[in-house]
Amino acid sequence: MKRLLYIPLFLIVLLSCKKDSMDGVMSYVDFKTIQGPWRLIEIERTSLDNKNVWESVASAQSDTLTFREDGVILNTDGTPACCPPKSLIINGQLLDIKPQAALPANPICALVNCVYCPTWEISLSDDQLIVSSCNSQKRKYVR
């Protein structure tokens, strides 16, 4: 008699479990938060006494990153960045970059020898963005 009770109970529990999937919505919202141009202002360097310090970047050496709403990273002229990551970790959340529109060709990328870094880690707070990639120093950007 107990078996007859356990079987329907097991089926109810099994069928009531459903994965809530909002991956596409969350990705779009998070990429929207970093969308637009970001100007490089500081680079983290290691001093002689092994302490990390932020050094200002001269305006002539300043770089600009532009993020599209789908996460694609562009140069200031609108061409795709050379050696971009396949995903971003924004404030601890992993997001895959999936271009939603066609990307123009960037002829400069043929001349670049890429050291591939599959993921960039991004720390976002207000209008400040700190980017960490595999082998480079941290870079601080502002809007």
- pLDDT of amino acid 61: 79
Torsion of CA 30, 38, 109, 85, to 10 degrees: -30
Tell me, yes or no, if the pTM score tops 0.85: no
In this predicted model, which residue has the larger pLDDT, 12 or 91?
91
- pLDDT of amino acid 81: 92
* Residues 116-126: tens digit of each pLDDT: 889 999 999 98
- pLDDT of amino acid 35: 92
- pLDDT of amino acid 67: 94
Q: Is the four-CA dihedral 140, 112, 103, 105 of positive or negative sign?
A: positive
- pLDDT of amino acid 86: 94
In the beta sheet, which residues pair with residue 122? Answer: 90, 131
DSSP state of 25: H
Would you give the distance in Å from CA 37 to the centre of its chain?
14
Measured CA distances, 75 to 13, 27, 63 (Å):
51, 22, 9
Question: For 36, left (φ over 0), alpha (ψ -120 to 50), or beta?
Answer: left
* Residues 42-85: tens digit of each pLDDT: 999 888 888 889 999 988 778 899 999 999 999 988 899 999 99
Q: What residue has token string 């919202």?
A: 29
Cα–Cα distance measured from residue 98 to residue 94, given in angstroms and rounded to the nearest whole number: 13
Q: Domain residue spans in the chain?
A: 22-142
